[in-house]
Structure 1
Amino acid sequence: MDDDENMIIDVVSPDEPTGGLKQENGGYAWEEEYKRSWDVLQEDENGLISTTVTQLSNQLKRKRLLRDTRTLHRGLVRHLILVVDLSESMAEKDLKPSRHDLVLSTLSTFLVEFFDQNPLSQVAVVVTHDELAHLVTELSSNPADHVRALRNAVRTPKGEPSLQNALEMARGTLAHVPSHGTREVLVVFSSLTTCDPGNILDTLDALVKDSVRASVISLAAEVHICKKIAQSTHGTFTVALNEPHLKELILENVPPPPIAQRSLARKASNLMRMGFPERITERVPTLCACHSKPTTKGFTCPVCSAKMCSVPAECVLCGLTLVLSPHLARSYHHLFPVLNFVEVTDWSEIHADNECAGCMGALSAPPAPGEQSLAVMRTQATGRYACPQCNQHYCIECDVFIHEALHNCPTCSSGTGAGGPAADMET
């Protein structure tokens, strides 16, 4: 009995090492991600917290905008295979309303925004359940077809997933992609297990050999094989913490990623044939070549005069890539992204102009001399964001619009800013 008591005392003794569970500050490792958000709120001189709430809201709006703006080699013609795990684990309700419903709604938003920012790209959808993989849609540029097919693929999640079968089907779909296009795979994985018919490491070697970039978003926890696949193919592996975080992780795949040097060395510079179709409106509906459905509106191929419902697309008869000039313009901005605007934190740096350079709306005016101390002026949020090139100030709404939709600084483009060509001519 005495030996047992001594043994128990030794186990719970604080002098024993904890196996790396505690950090240098004495807290546990899992407490590092724990944040006391209510401690961030601070009252102003009037006893209100509206200023702090507005500042936190602006930080959330700008979180997606602060991305890598370096001039890197990126692929404008992307070929993405979207792999969705529709096994029984997707029926879990830890993500509201359920993993299945949340993933489908988020992917619908992702597909629309993906083609809006990458109009020259193509997407195919692969789902895995019952230890099999099914190709739901072929490579195409129509987001409506992908969303409709994905929602009708599996109404109720069932069975176990097969990561190897899904990756093999994705690799086979990307086998005929031309050299000027990128090969990407995005896996939304929910299960902690995978039922594979063979060695999945052989599939990993084949992905690396074919220069396929695979990224994995896990809904449950970190899975070793998923992380290994992402790291070996120069992709990303992330775990969704909650509903907003999942949406953020999926939308991070909208901008084209930098092309790895390994893949860049194998790509040969060549020309890509494109055609600019003519939009037509007919009185009598005729069958389109893409869906074989009667329509009165469409686009005609300049080579074979085939009628297509929408563009961009590949002509089903001659295989010519059909695009419009706005599609090329929207793809071009990825090569030269707008620099991240810098938040103005010091009231002393604000000039006399209290109007937004974009919408001409009123910005917060600096406090009058003597009303607030210098310390308060340096800590209070200004609500202004300055372009690092022209040094013009914008509001948060214009900052978001410029980086997500316009992709050009209006002042820099017009040459009227402090660093524009017009200013240089005057000096």
Structure 2
Amino acid sequence: MDSDDEYVPNTRARGLTNAEGAYRWEDEYHRSWDVVQEDSGGSLAPAVNGIIDTAKRRKIKPMAPVHRGIIRNLVLVLDASLAMSDTDMRPTRFYSMISSASVFVTDFFSQNPISQLAIVVLRDGLAVLTSKLDGNPQTHLDNLAQLRKSQVSGQASLQNGLELANVLLSQTPQYNTREVLLVFGALMSNDPKPISQTIHKLVENKVRVKIIGLAAEVAICRQICTQTNMGESNSYFIALNEQHFQTLLSDSLTPIPVLKERESAAKSTDSAEPATAVRMGFPKRQLHSMSASLCACHQTLTKQGFFCPQCKAKVCTLPMTCPVCALTLIMSTHLARGYHHLFPLQPFNQTQGYKNPCFGCSVSLANRSQFECPKCHNIFCVDCDVFFHENLHNCAGCEVQNTDVQV
């Protein structure tokens, strides 16, 4: 090559550029100011409100009513190896993971009140049980706060983490779902034995594994998720940034469908498979008492609590498994909050041209996005739409019509 020639790297051959010759990562920001357009009156309010409304409805997805297990047992496995000290997530991967996990625990028990969760940490080639399988969210939040004060160290071991999770879940009843949600930031695993043996145990115990990677894709993680989920490939994800990581965690709030092999086995039998009866207790609450009594869960003297209807033992919070007779203690509202997953509220259709206020909150819909319920055809604002789908799980317009019919 002559000295006057200019060297140009062959980026197109490497797939780094598009057809126009620009870098692919620039496509997302190419003329981004064209997204915001003025209306006929010269105002930017409609465009800005549209961007905000789109961000609010990002989590609303269409869901078909399928067979799901509403009594869940989930083991949250967190990577605390040296790979989690990277700063591609601020301030580090580890602290970002702990903050997102705290939000996930709160939302998990809000959406799945009769479920249980455990937390396992991977560091120094070991798997440490940080929080045992329990249905009290405050216990897990306190343990995560203590974990935040610790330091990352050593390497992670996928096999040890999955083995410990398998032992915890093997003690749960068969009618409960057995799930593992693993946050993995390393690119290698320090395993003492072939991990294929562990995968075989997970498949035998019907343990479903979902992995969220914080680095590049790892082949063994893909293999674990595929084999434990009956060949489905939608259980292994790579987080692109902090917001995407939180979105991937929030996707695990919805109970997973029942295993295909279980459904096919039930259909292949001549007679219908008998339903499993789950014994639960609805205890009475004592607000105030003249004298303090000992609670069975914390062994402390309290003047208020809930009394088990079977053994009369007192516990502090619900839901909880009775420490004396092992009866599941819940309230009727807990069943109602877990039941909505079986019949999810369908997304509303975006519309325009509606002049009246929002049917739900009576706010003006001028320069706001409008959404129509496909059943009752009432129009709502984006805030009511998000509230119905994420919290209430029912349409206010449909409920009013049902009430009118009953009256």
Q: TM-score, normalised by structure 1?
A: 0.84
- Helix, strand or coil at the partner of 2:107: helix
1:74 aligns with 2:64: no
Q: Which amino acid in structure 2 is aligned with residue 199 of structure 1?
A: P
Shift of the 265–147 alpha-carbon distance from structure 1 to 2, 3 Å rule, reads: farther
What secondary structure sits across from 2:304 in the alignment? strand
Kindly report which structure 2 residues correspond to 1:277-288, keeping only aligned pairs within 5 A, or say none. Answer: 277-280=283-286, 281-288=288-295
Contact 2:76 2:181 in 1 (8 A): yes
Deviates more, 1:325-334 or 1:215-224: 215-224
Does the 8 Å CA contact 2:155/2:190 hold for their aligned counterparts?
Answer: yes
Residue-by-residue CA offset, 1:75-134 (whole Å, 9 max, x unaligned): 110000000011122222221122222211211111111111111111011111000001
Give the count of matched residue pairs.
Answer: 391
- 1:301-358 CA-to-partner distances (Å, cap 9, x unmatched) read 10111111111111111110001010011111111111101111x43xx3x5x11111
Superposed counterparts of 1:126-137, under 5 Å: 126-137=120-131
Secondary structure of 1:215's partner? strand
What's the CA shift string for 1:8-31, capped at 9, x where partnerless?
Answer: x9x9797x9926666667666666
Query: Secondary structure at the residue paired with 1:253?
Result: helix
Greater gyration radius: 1
Q: Does 1:160 align with 2:159?
A: no
Q: Could you tell me which residue of structure 2 aligns to residue 107 of structure 1?
A: 101
Residue in structure 2 matched with residue 330 of structure 1 by the alignment: 337
2 CA distance for matches of 1:107 and 1:388?
35
Matched-pair contact (CA < 8 Å) for 1:415–1:421:
yes
1:360 to 337, 359, 362: 362
Asked if 1:397 corresponds to 2:383, the answer is: yes
1:390-409 per-position Cα deviation (integer Å, ceiling 9, x unaligned): 11100111111111111111
User: Please, what is the CA RMSD of the aligned residues?
Assistant: 2.6
Pairs within 5 Å for 1:284-299: 284-299=291-306
Q: Does 1:244 align with 2:271?
A: no
Change (3 A) 1:211 1:32: farther
- Shift of the 165–356 alpha-carbon distance from structure 1 to 2, 3 Å rule, reads same
Report how far residue 251 of structure 1 moved.
1.2
- Among residues 110, 115, 132, which one is paired with 1:116 in the alignment? 110
Q: Greater CA deviation, 216-225 or 156-165? A: 216-225
Counterpart-to-counterpart distance in 1, 2:328 and 2:382: 38
**2:51 — aligned with what?**
56
The reply on whether 1:214 has 2:175 as its aligned counterpart is no
Return the letter of the residue paired with 1:399.
D
- Normalising by structure 2, we get a TM-score of 0.88
SS of match in other structure, 2:78: strand
**Where does structure 1 lack aligned partners over 5 or more consecutive residues?**
365-380
SS of 2:217 mapped into structure 1: coil
Q: Is the 8 A contact 1:131 1:162 kept in 2?
A: yes
In the TM superposition, what are the counterparts of 1:252-291 in structure 2 within 5 Å?
252-265=251-264, 269-280=275-286, 281-291=288-298
Structure 2, unpaired ranges of 5+: 267-272
Alignment-derived partner of residue 269 in structure 2: none
On the 8 A contact 2:109/2:115 being kept in 1, the answer is yes
